Structure 1
Amino acid sequence: MPQLNPTPWFSYMVFAWLVFLIFIPQKVLTHVSPNSPHTQETKYLKAESWAWPWH
């Protein structure tokens, strides 16, 4: 059965992992987003007390 012979498949797996671990992260980390996130100004609302009669 050719599936049980690890000689060609092991080298394919090692090569694929080298691509995933070396080349792909470099491309992902060098990606620059065209829309950089900006922090929005937070407006603090003044809490007003209620003027209800409590009796």
Structure 2
Amino acid sequence: MPQLNPNPWFAILIFSWIIFLTVIPTKIMNHIQLNDPALVDAKEHKKDSWNWPW
């Protein structure tokens, strides 16, 4: 059964994973984020308790 011979298919699998793990992440990580998160002011918020009317 020739389909059980792993020699050509194993090499194709290894080379494709090498391409996926080296080329594609570098292309993705080179993109610039368009919406940089803005820093929130560190001012103190009001912490008054709510006085219920009843």
Same fold (TM over 0.5): yes
Q: Spell out, residue by residue over 1:4-50, the C-alpha distance to the aligned partner (whole angstroms, 9 max, x if none).
A: 10111011101111111110111121111211122334660141575
- CA RMSD, aligned part only? 2.6
Query: Aligned pairs, how many?
Result: 52
> 5+ residue gaps in structure 1?
none
Superposed structure 1 runs of 4+ greater than 2 Å apart: 39-43
Q: Which has the larger radius of gyration?
A: 1
Gaps of 5+ in 2: none
TM-score of the superposed pair, with normalisation by structure 1? 0.66
Counterpart position of 1:45:
46
TM-score (ref. length: structure 2): 0.66
**Percent sequence identity over matched residues?**
39
